[in-house]
Amino acid sequence: MTRTRSREIKYKRITSRMAIGLSALAGLTSAAFGQSSVTLYGIVDAGVTWNSNAGGKTVTLLDTGVMQGNRLGFRGSEDLGGGTKAIFAIESGFNLGTGALGQGGLGFGRMTWVGLSDKRLGTITLGRQYDFMYDSLGGYNTPTWSAGGYSNNPLDNDRLSGQRVNNAVKYVTSSYAGFTLGAMVGFSNLAGQFNGTGRTYSFSANYVNGPLSVGTAYTDISGQTLDISPLVGSSTPVLLGGNFARTFGAGGTYKILSSVTTYALYTQSIFRGAAATADGTFRNYEGGVAWLYNAAWNFGFGYTLTTLNGNKYHQGNLTADYFLSKRTDVYVESIFQHAVGDTAHADIISMAGSSDRNQLLLRIGMRHRF
pLDDT one-digit tens code per residue, 20-49:
443 443 443 344 456 899 999 999 999 999
Cβ(140)–Cβ(253) below 8 Å: yes
Cβ(280)–Cβ(240) below 8 Å: yes
In whole angstroms, what is the distance from residue 169 CA to residue 67 CA? 29
Q: What is the pLDDT of residue 17?
A: 47
User: Phi, psi at residue 126, to the nearest 5°?
Assistant: -135, 130
Q: What is the pLDDT of residue 328?
A: 98
CATH of span 35-369 = 2.40.160.10
**pLDDT one-digit tens code per residue, 313-330:** 999 999 999 999 999 999
**pLDDT one-digit tens code per residue, 187-229:** 999 999 999 999 999 999 999 999 999 999 999 999 999 999 9
- Strands 122-130 and 164-172 turn out to be antiparallel
% helix / strand / coil in the chain, to the nearest 5?
A: 15, 55, 30
More confident residue, 21 or 342: 342
Q: What is the pLDDT of residue 147?
A: 81
- Calculate what percentage of the chain has a pLDDT beyond 70: 91
In angstroms and rounded to an integer, the radius of gyration of the C-alpha atoms of the chain is: 26
Q: What is the pLDDT of residue 33?
A: 53
Q: If you average pLDDT over every residue of the chain, what do you get?
A: 92
- pTM as predicted: 0.87
How would residue 9 be classed by pLDDT, with cut points 50, 70 and 90?
A: very low
**DSSP H or E stretch at residue 244:** strand 244-257
Query: Domain limits of the chain?
Result: 35-369
Nearest one of 112, 118, 40 to 79, comparing CA atoms: 118
Q: Is 132 exposed, middle or buried (0-12, 13-18, 19+ CB in 10 A)?
A: buried
In whole angstroms, what is the distance from residue 127 CA to residue 164 CA? 10
> Does 19 score more than 50 pLDDT?
no
Strands (E), 82-155: 84-93, 111-118, 122-130
Cβ(115)–Cβ(125) below 8 Å: yes
Q: What is the pLDDT of residue 146?
A: 79
Q: Could you tell me which residues come within 8 angstroms of residue 137 by beta carbon, excluding any fewer than 6 positions away?
A: 160, 215, 216, 217, 249, 250, 251, 265, 267
